[in-house]
Amino acid sequence: MNPLAGLRVIECASFVAAPSACMTLAQLGAEVIRVDPIGGAADYRRWPVAPTGTSLYWTALNRGKRSVAVNMRSDEGRELVAALVAEAGIFVDNAVGRRWLSYENLSARRADLIHLHLQGRADGTPAVDYTVNAEVGVPTITGREYDAAPVNHVLPAWDLLTGMTVTTGVLAALHERAKTGKGAYIELALADVAAAGVANLGWLGEAQLRGAERPKHGNHVYGSFGIDFETSDGQRVMVVALTEGQWHALRKVTGTEEVFSALEPALDVDLNQEADRYRVRETIAAILRPWFAARPLAEVSKDLDSARVLWGRYRGMPEVAASPSGVLSTVDQPGIGEVPSARSPLRWDGTYGGTATAPSLGEDTDHVLASVLGLPAAEITRLHDGGVVA
């Protein structure tokens, strides 16, 4: 349940990607120490925020970590951070242009250091989820068929994906270090994660072969059959038929088997082929729509489940938040109160791991300076008095 117990990781980063990565390492048992400037980094007040002003975003992304606050503009502060990195041996950062935090400087103090440096673009210039998403072409094919302008995603998908790529890189380097004794300097750019992401789905190959943009296809699932339907009580469900079995289940439960059997020769399609289901998706949707429109959600839900149709219901987040279970639970977060929170989705031996709250800024400064660097109490007091730590 705590496979990474015994590891110590120093994080000097902000926003989503690196913090979510290091939170994942903490959930798997590592001791993660997030180092922030005194007063917090640029993400410390990021929306959404609670009425108290405490950031729901920051507290959600930094659960289970220790927090150390250091004046990183002072030489003494920098020395403390470098000493923590050398002691821990694993370091994740997304700093731009901080030479004192470079691998060259840090590995001089610890030869087998694993340093993962996160970037916007691989050339070191800044980029964020919303700019790289535009650059790789996803907004251009997202949204309604009639909407010519690009539609941005709301979910910072590339940030989250980059976070789990960070953990993958760190743990791969750890495997190698255990075998060879050698550390690693690993760089990872958000823009590269996004470009590789669309390439890995075959979408760049498609764009090249087509020589033109894929037309927008609204809420349809590309290359198969899947679309949303409204029920008689104004609820909405997403119904998908990727496999032949799922397609037959959907026909059967909606009583449309004969309709589709008659349709196939008329349209010269074989609806057992998902490519053909995609080609005539609007016709299929139009034939199925009245079945959904005639039934309330409760009946639709019962019927689709009994028939083993692949489907999901559109829920609003207030509803998701109202019934935390399984991977979701609640924690009593200082500054906020009882708030929905997630465990790690990775279950060891059928069991979810624990929950945790986020630290307050600098909560662990004294403890970390004493336990990791062995500083005496008088020295820690001196550092506080000099404004080096908080």
Q: Which residues, numbered 258-277, are part of the site for a copy of itself (CB under 8 A)?
A: 274-275
CA angle 205, 208, 213 (to 5 degrees): 105
**Residues in Cβ contact with 356 at an 8 Å cutoff, skipping those fewer than 6 apart:** 26, 27, 63, 64, 331
Contact 287, 231 (CB under 8 A): no
- Tell me how far apart the alpha carbons of residues 151 and 136 are, in angstroms, rounded to a whole number: 13
Neighbours of 129 (CB within 10 A): 24
The reply to whether 339 sits near a copy of itself by the rule CB under 8 A is yes
Q: Work out which of 10, 17, 38, 60 binds a copy of itself, going by CB under 8 A.
A: 60
Contact 188, 169 (CB under 8 A): yes
The reply to whether 382 sits near a copy of itself by the rule CB under 8 A is no
The residue type at 177: R
Compose the 103-122 pattern: x for residues touching a copy of itself by CB under 8 A, - for all others. Answer: -------------------x
Is the Cβ of residue 10 or residue 221 nearer to a copy of itself in the bound state? 221
Within 308-337, the residues that bind a copy of itself by CB under 8 A are 310-322, 324, 326-328, 336
Closest separation in Å from C-beta 270 to a copy of itself: 13
Q: Which of 386, 337, 335, 340 is nearest to 361 (CA)?
A: 335
Contact 295, 305 (CB under 8 A): no
The reply to whether 228 sits near a copy of itself by the rule CB under 8 A is yes
Contact 310, 240 (CB under 8 A): yes
Residue 237 is inside which H or E element, if any?
strand 236-241
159 labelled catalytic: yes
Closest separation in Å from C-beta 271 to a copy of itself: 15
The reply to whether 229 sits near a copy of itself by the rule CB under 8 A is no
Closest separation in Å from C-beta 82 to a copy of itself: 21
The reply to whether 88 sits near a copy of itself by the rule CB under 8 A is no
The reply to whether 279 sits near a copy of itself by the rule CB under 8 A is no
Closest separation in Å from C-beta 252 to a copy of itself: 17
Number of residues that bind a copy of itself (CB under 8 A): 144
- Tell me how far apart the alpha carbons of residues 308 and 249 are, in angstroms, rounded to a whole number: 6
Considering the candidates 159, 270, 349, 385, report the single residue annotated as catalytic: 159
Is the Cβ of residue 263 or residue 328 nearer to a copy of itself in the bound state? 328
Compose the 164-203 pattern: x for residues touching a copy of itself by CB under 8 A, - for all others. Answer: xx-xxx-xxxxxx-xx----xxxxxx--xx-xxxxxxxxx
Q: Which residue has the tokens 């949204």?
A: 143
The reply to whether 234 sits near a copy of itself by the rule CB under 8 A is no
Tokens of 339: 């708030």
The reply to whether 48 sits near a copy of itself by the rule CB under 8 A is yes
Is the Cβ of residue 206 or residue 379 nearer to a copy of itself in the bound state? 206
What's the distance, CA 216 to chain centroid? Answer: 25
The reply to whether 51 sits near a copy of itself by the rule CB under 8 A is yes
Contact 29, 356 (CB under 8 A): no
Tokens of 276: 């053909």
The reply to whether 292 sits near a copy of itself by the rule CB under 8 A is no
Active site (catalytic) residues: 159
